[in-house]
Chains A and B, each alone.
Chain A
């Protein structure tokens, strides 16, 4: 790819913008399996990767895809995969392995209606809790939610940066609408873009693969450089060797969560619109945040002091922000394309204030009227 010396604007779909952002972030390995509505991501990588000296491989299924992504990451290459609901379900066990081995990787889930095969070509936002809790065990991941092709581009870069920095899988929770809509995408100049790379150990010997630094994150070795390190999905000590005790479990699994929890404020990002005097706060994300913003504007025209909180990152959840807002706000309306997922997170942080769900089981995005009606229900 040629150097981007000047800013440019391109007309791209969310899926394609995400590919370009990932490439800009340094992604040079993609393994995937075709699935609607994420397929354009695989197709774009198939065309783009050879041009930039990267690898595209179509695997036999989504399990193999994310397995190959983890392997490639341990060879020191920024790696990702993309899928939708059914494939995301198949990836869950490997997401747990990525967490356990502290393997940087990016997983894009272009959400469609479910459960099961559901609505392959139509949108939903119902994989929010799966992204957080889908693999067994206790852990933390990071999830981002772009609401435009422009943000699909910038979120791809941020996803890789966070993944490299915290050695954690980062999930980009898109939805079919954002994946397939075409809009203007601002491609920044190279000097405007910051990319992060994982910490690497200074010496090959002695090397303890799971001895964390003060920031709770251990430097990560690369295969083939003489480290002779061992990693395992079993609970392990600082040497990477399996230890089956409560103490080892406590020590290791706590750190896996704490490295994210203790940085939640730094990672979490919310956009606040009309929030200065807001009494009714609409919480939304992804495509739903767009009709939600219109509903907020319409409510204001009708004299209701409404505001919008858009979750730019979904996980870790913006606890602090929501708790602060709950002190002043009268009520929350949670607009999401499911039957209540982020709703319960908002309720948890709402200090007993009224929380109304503007549900939508998927298939089409909310109309602004649907959200406006809920805003008006606040007494």
Chain B
């Protein structure tokens, strides 16, 4: 891509007047979000129909940099806001872009229920294993044994297996990649953008400043090397096997890709039915 061409691409997708962004050196969010916009470019989605909803946290700030109708809402509440937007205007393409703490600790209830209902939303979770924005606290995805500011002796909790949670809650599309798998991530996101229903992509992404340096991954590149060494691509693996443990292989790839009736379509047919046979 030539420089001029790149600038045009940049200003098509980003609010360039807001750059530079607030993210730390070595953070994976740049790569993760670049994959998202490259996927949009490849998917030929009508950009005016895209609405981005983010919660609070480092990933939550993405909504403010992306050049779409974008909503930076409450901590943990991006999904219900997106559910309302989509139901009120079914022509919108809703993308919830948020972090692991936002979506799965404080926001976990909304995630499982939107998945169960099959609300037509693409949820992209950038998982950096901790609360980065607040300085590196334990989160629901911190692997067992992780050192964080609130688990100084090592995490005693098991971590959430997000693909399994999504699949068992009813998501129609479930995938996981790391930011090292940039091309696969773009391809997966194009595919997810073209599907309907509750779709979930987990992106593993380094947080060297707040998580990595306490867990023997002091530079961004160290976590990328860990991804290279420890990930194994298996498509349609049993999502049960997607648990992340320091000593084990990390399964990446597509876990689920099925079709199910979408909630918004069911609402539309409900309206048809009620308008036809009106009860007194």
A binds B: yes
Q: Is the CB of B64 within 8 A of A224?
A: no
Q: Is the CB of A67 within 8 A of B87?
A: no
Q: Is the CB of A61 within 8 A of B92?
A: no
**Given A50-B273, A59-B113, A226-B48, are A232 and B67 also a contact pair (CB < 8 Å)?**
no
Q: Is the CB of A75 within 8 A of B88?
A: yes
Contacts of B92 in A (CB 8 A): 75, 223-224
Contacts of A74 in B (CB 8 A): 71, 85
Contacts of B71 in A (CB 8 A): 71, 74, 230-232
Is A60 positioned at the interface, with any CB of B under 8 Å from its CB? yes
Q: Is the CB of B80 within 8 A of A59?
A: yes
Contacts of A68 in B (CB 8 A): 80-81, 83-84, 87
Contacts of B77 in A (CB 8 A): 63-64, 67, 94
Q: Is the CB of B85 within 8 A of A232?
A: no
Is B44 positioned at the interface, with any CB of A under 8 Å from its CB? no
Is A133 positioned at the interface, with any CB of B under 8 Å from its CB? no
Minimum C-beta distance from A188 to chain B (A):
22
Minimum C-beta distance from B81 to chain A (A):
4
Mark B67-83 against chain A: 1 for CB-CB distance below 8 A, else 0: 11111111001011111
| Of the residues B63, B69, B72, contact of A223 by C-beta under 8 Å | B69
Is B103 positioned at the interface, with any CB of A under 8 Å from its CB? no
Q: Is the CB of B83 within 8 A of A51?
A: no
- Chain A residue with Cβ nearest B111: A60
Contacts of B74 in A (CB 8 A): 67, 93-94, 97, 233
Query: Is chain A's binding surface mostly helix, strand, loop or mixed?
Result: mixed
Q: Is the CB of B82 within 8 A of A71?
A: yes
Is B237 positioned at the interface, with any CB of A under 8 Å from its CB? no
Mark B39-53 against chain A: 1 for CB-CB distance below 8 A, else 0: 000000000110101
| Of the residues B73, B113, B271, contact of A233 by C-beta under 8 Å | B73
Q: Is the CB of B83 within 8 A of A57?
A: yes
Task: For the complex, give the distance between the alpha carbons of A242 and B54 in Å.
Answer: 14
Query: Is chain B's binding surface mostly helix, strand, loop or mixed?
Result: helix
Q: Is the CB of A79 within 8 A of B91?
A: no
Task: For the complex, give the distance between the alpha carbons of A73 and B53 in Å.
Answer: 14
**Given A67-B77, A70-B81, A229-B69, are A77 and B88 also a contact pair (CB < 8 Å)?**
yes
Is A304 positioned at the interface, with any CB of B under 8 Å from its CB? no
- Chain A residue with Cβ nearest B77: A67
Is B1 positioned at the interface, with any CB of A under 8 Å from its CB? no
Is A332 positioned at the interface, with any CB of B under 8 Å from its CB? no
Is A227 positioned at the interface, with any CB of B under 8 Å from its CB? yes
Contacts of A31 in B (CB 8 A): 80, 83-84
Minimum C-beta distance from A23 to chain B (A):
13
Is B278 positioned at the interface, with any CB of A under 8 Å from its CB? yes
Q: Is the CB of A29 within 8 A of B84?
A: yes
Is A152 positioned at the interface, with any CB of B under 8 Å from its CB? no
Minimum C-beta distance from A203 to chain B (A):
15
Q: Is the CB of A53 within 8 A of B271?
A: yes
Is B267 positioned at the interface, with any CB of A under 8 Å from its CB? yes
Q: Is the CB of A76 within 8 A of B275?
A: no
Task: For the complex, give the distance between the alpha carbons of A50 and B77 in Å.
Answer: 26
- Chain B residue with Cβ nearest A94: B74
Q: Is the CB of A67 within 8 A of B51?
A: no
Is A241 positioned at the interface, with any CB of B under 8 Å from its CB? yes
Contacts of A222 in B (CB 8 A): 89
In the complex, besides A29-B84, A68-B80, 17 extra interface pairs with C-beta distance below 8 angstroms are A50-B267, A51-B275, A63-B80, A67-B74, A71-B71, A72-B85, A73-B84, A75-B92, A79-B84, A79-B88, A94-B77, A224-B69, A228-B68, A230-B15, A231-B70, A231-B72, A241-B64
Rank and list the top 10 A-B pairs by shortest CB-CB distance, nearest first.
A71-B84, A67-B80, A50-B274, A68-B84, A75-B88, A72-B88, A232-B72, A71-B85, A72-B84, A64-B80
24 A-B interface contacts by CB (under 8 A):
A28-B88, A31-B80, A50-B270, A63-B80, A64-B77, A64-B79, A67-B73, A68-B83, A71-B83, A71-B85, A72-B85, A73-B84, A74-B85, A75-B88, A75-B89, A94-B77, A97-B73, A97-B74, A224-B69, A224-B89, A224-B91, A230-B15, A231-B71, A232-B63
